[in-house]
Amino acid sequence: MIHTPFNGDHHIGEEIQKLVERFNVQTIIETGTWSAHSTREFAKLVPLVFTIDATHEHLLEEFGPNAVAELEALNVGVILGDSSKVLPVLLQPNHQQRSIYPVLLYLDAHGGGANGSNVNPLLEELDAIGAEPACRDTCIICIHDFLVPGKPWGYNDGDWGRGFEPLSYELIKNKLPAIYPNGHQFYYNEEAAGCQRGIIYIHSTR
């Protein structure tokens, strides 16, 4: 299979570029590297990118044994591990020699975690974001494969630690006040191309 950035949906790349410009985003953190086509697009938009996955299998399959080194040459930190455990470290303001904020998080780590669990790490990822004071009211969050009401776009469903259910706003809404104590706004994609998957964009009302 030939992979493309954002599963072939150029609208997502265009919207993320708008968010980067609007909020002066300095760093993008991606969970769910897969073959890193979207990762390479992120590297064109901001000075620093981190991408986290439980395996490099798909990346190495598509780009060969030098794939990680090639990404690192683009200022991409490629991290192997459980995203919910890695995020608390990455989000620390002093993790890098310079500030990584404002940060945009592109959450796309679907399926089993690094420990072989079939429970999706999304809710734990949101907990990690909410636990970091520097993230509060500053982070922008994009969640791919999301249920968009009234649209035929594809979405994921699965076990996010609460039983089998769709990936929806209803699933995540109770996690958001910790991340955005002064309130948040969200919107979905109105257009879709390629594989036509849903996505939600969330940011502070400030």
CA pair distance 150, 153, nearest whole angstrom: 9
Q: Three-class SS string for 59-80?
A: HHHHHCCCHHHHHHCCCEEEEE
Q: What are phi and psi of 4, to 5 degrees?
A: -135, 160
Query: For residue range 140-167, what is the model confidence (pLDDT) as tens digits?
Result: 999 999 999 999 999 998 877 777 899 9
pLDDT of residue 164: 84
CA nearest to 57, candidates 114, 5, 142, 107: 114
Confidence band, pLDDT 50/70/90 cuts, at residue 28: very high
Residue 3's identity, in one-letter code, is H
Asked whether residue 98 carries a pLDDT value surpassing 80, the answer given is no
Q: Is the N-terminal amide bond of 102 cis, ω within 30° of 0?
A: yes
Mean pLDDT of the chain: 91
Among 18-27, 62-71, 107-116, the minimum mean pLDDT is found in: 107-116
Asked whether residue 41 carries a pLDDT value surpassing 70, the answer given is yes
Q: Three-class SS string for the chain?
A: CCCCHHHHCHHHHHHHHHHHHHHCCCEEEEECCCCCHHHHHHHCCCCEEEEEECCCHHHHHHHCCCHHHHHHCCCEEEEECCHHHHHHHHCCCCCCCCCCCCEEEEECCCCCCCCCCCCCCHHHHHHHHHHCHHHCCCCEEEEECCCCCCCCCECCEEECCCCEEECCHHHHHHHHHHHCCCCEEEEECCCCCCCCECEEEEEECC
Domains present along the chain, CATH in parentheses: 24-179 (3.40.50)
Confidence band, pLDDT 50/70/90 cuts, at residue 82: very high
Asked whether residue 95 carries a pLDDT value surpassing 90, the answer given is no
Average of per-residue pLDDT across 22-36: 94
Q: What are phi and psi of 172, to 5 degrees?
A: -100, -10
Confidence (pTM)? 0.93
Task: Express as a percent the part of the chain with pLDDT over 90.
Answer: 76
Q: What is the largest CA-CA distance in the chain?
A: 46
Average of per-residue pLDDT across 124-150: 96
Q: Yes or no: say if 167 and 157 are a contact pair by the CB < 8 Å rule.
A: yes
